[in-house]
Structure 1
Amino acid sequence: MTNCQVPAALIHQIEQELDEDEKEMMLFLCRDFIPDLPTADLRELLGALNERGKLSRLGLSELLYRVKRFDLLKRSLRTQKAAVEADLARYPRLVSDYRVLMVELNEQLDKKEVNSLIFLLKDYVPRMKMAKDKSFLAVAIDLEKQNMVAPTELELIEECLQNIHRIDLKKKIQKYKQEALMAPSSAQPMYINALQASLPNLTLVDPPYSSGVWNMNKEHPLNGQHAIQKSSGPFQCVCCRISTYTFASYSAKLMGQGSKGPLPWVPDDRYRMQSQPLGICLIIDCIGNDTDMLEETFQEVGYEVHCYKYLSVEAMNQTLHEASKLQKHKDCDSFICILISRGSSQSIFCTDQPFPGFSLDRVKQFFTADSCPSLLGKPKLFFIQSYIVTATNHEPTSLLEIDGDEQKINTNAKRTWNCIPKAADIFWSQCKVDVSTLERSPTSSSFYLHCLAEILRNPQKRKLSLLDIHIELNRRVYDQNKFCHPTQHYSLLLWHTLRKKLFLSPS
């Protein structure tokens, strides 16, 4: 299939056959191709594409296929829907999956739903001109200009779709994200931000995460408790190639801040750890002995730390839910969750409920890719200190019932630990010690967490990969066990599904 020019008469004929909605869709599909042509005229756009050798009959067929004008495929291009589908599977595509997705959403939203989306967006972009009669594609273009929507930034759209009860469309976005993660970047046409497209001679390669400035130093109450949020500084965005303008000056005008220049190259076998902060570190301490030490440690490492103490089961559920929905995740390279509580091997008890407690597997599920798409492809680290309380201490039973309970607990344990590695990019470190250790010394720090903090605050140790850090942690904990009574031994379990090497330092 050659990229021969399309006759102007054919372009004119097709443009005459399209209605206004179809023209709008086609213009949106073509936004990435000629950023220096700020026009709303489809014929002029197609003509310019044709003159520059960017429009072939195959490309024109794809555009008609995307707007579902199968009659014009047959009448004007002498081809069929099935033939175009076969060509799209064999040859490079003209239109990116992102723009195809947005057009599909546009087709499945009625005017009432679009108006509801516009109303909801006032919470995020109050100064944006949101005319009531705008189409979804026009709204998408406005959000692109604000750098709030892009191929890798669709959480805002997802949240709005959730609020108008279009879960089917939210799932469509999540499917797109899953497929995009697996596809090589070279398989997608270049994306041009709508604001970039309005600036002549400015060509930008879209960065993997959006830029933004955080100034978080707030304290939020939650069921009588407090969550402390702190930021370690602004997040710098990066661009790969610029003509005429330099990105530093462009970014300074756009964001009101300077640029430190391009971030260093990251090897394919390493997770990207360059954002500022590196991510959110969520600390939930239902014992109360380790919060300050951990907060100071992970701030030093480069995380924005959110601390909660003495949560009930209801507050635990609310806290995890809200943490999983934070918009900041999309700008960060990782996430950490630290839990400290009495519990069993499979659950934590919080402050108001012993057995069965709050399932640890449920904790993990809040942050897997299907529940938290903003963390898709990013490492999610869990460090859990469990002070083990046996069921027999709380639930008097007969010998027969104890046997039954024991079998049930073993079965649940096997099921729980088997399911932990199923989600990608999870690092799950759990330390168990008998609750009697805590009862003997109610104000003492967890030896496991104390060692973890000590290693991470050592600049040389922090240069190790996370797996090597955990090996060092294992060594220290098990050396300590040699001097303790068996009932005071710490037991460590590590499960992970990391796909790359992870270093808790910029790389």
Structure 2
Amino acid sequence: MSPFEEYDHRINAIAEDLTTGDRRKAIYLCGSLVTDSSVTCVRETLRVKVNFHPDPPLFIMSILRQLGRYDILKRVYKVDRNEIEKKIQTYKQVLPRFRVLMVTISDNLQTEDVEQIKFLLGRTLSLEKKENVKTFLEVMIELEKLDLVSPETVELVEDCLRNIGRLDLARTVAAYKMSGATSEHSLPPQHSGQAASQPDQYNLRADQRGVCVIIDCVGNDGGMLENTFKALHFNVLYHTMLGADEIFETLKEVSKHRQSCKEDAFVCCIISRSFDDNILGTDSHGRGLSAKNIRDLFLGDTCPVMVGKPKLFFIQSYVVPESEHLEQDGCDGLAMRENPPTEADVLWSHCWTDESQLLQEQHHSVYLKALTDALSKAKRRKTDLLDVQMKVNGAIYDHNQKHPEANYRCDVKHTLRKNLYLE
């Protein structure tokens, strides 16, 4: 059994064994703002987190420990309570401290406490929201969506707890503020075999952050991306309505130009129709441009100046039905199926949805809207890029639950070796 299959098997077993309340807490501890507490949702959320985390077993064990589910730990991981406590204590905080704090507060509140907090938030939450939320965590999710509560902004939570007479919990929030615990993402420390001087985050200077290439072959959302990455101090190169060959030549020129530039990162955003995994650009025929060809332009042998530096790719594809795609020169129109990334320091985030959505009036990509929103919030907070992507995935999942006829599918792969903060 491969490591992925083993993780998948364990996650399935855990998701089935958790109670509804446990599932809700587990999803929240993973950094998601989705309120669905189904077995399917917790399974998919844990799968995504396993894909992102450097030590998946430790992360899942930490969640079960936080939930007090030592019975599942013993059954699934064959470890007892003393063993898991010893293992976790050898690492830094594995779970995001802010969310651990909110779960701890939730566990110590009575139903009447939650009702009093909802009453205090009468002018903050709509009547519909107040009627729908039943737990303290659901209240916090709504406040986070409104950007009123965050790892760096907990004053509203502290005030509510003081006003309902829960001074013990208010003091816990105050202690959290005093500790300076403002990062949502923390990783296990380096093992003894690693160099002690190795930094745990990529260096991004504001004045030499790098270039962001945006190629919009649809006519939607390119401007939104441009504004977002300019605000993040990237030098934005914006191109519209290019064919597949023109996309390749444009990126090839950008890659060549990188050899004379001292930059800290590279970003590529593409919005285009596609056939399978291949980018079509404005073309209506031919095999298009494969993901492999795009990625290879910025790997070490082609672009050595970018070795060790983060290379980020965000792609929104509008899938053309096979019957509409005309074959050319005997090509079968299929992608080369060599999925990026294959080299270190790459994030590949590719989202697909049906081309028919472009027929909607004033259409905007759910994926790109969630991405720009999450990046804008990350600028105000010290939030790691992988946590940003988790929020994007959560927004897509939430959208798909509400609008199954307009489904989005997001595939994320990465080989990032350090934290990446786009402040």
Q: TM-score if structure 2 supplies the norm length?
A: 0.50
Question: Higher relative CO (CA 8 A, sep ≥ 6), structure 1 or 2?
Answer: 2
Q: TM-score if structure 1 supplies the norm length?
A: 0.42
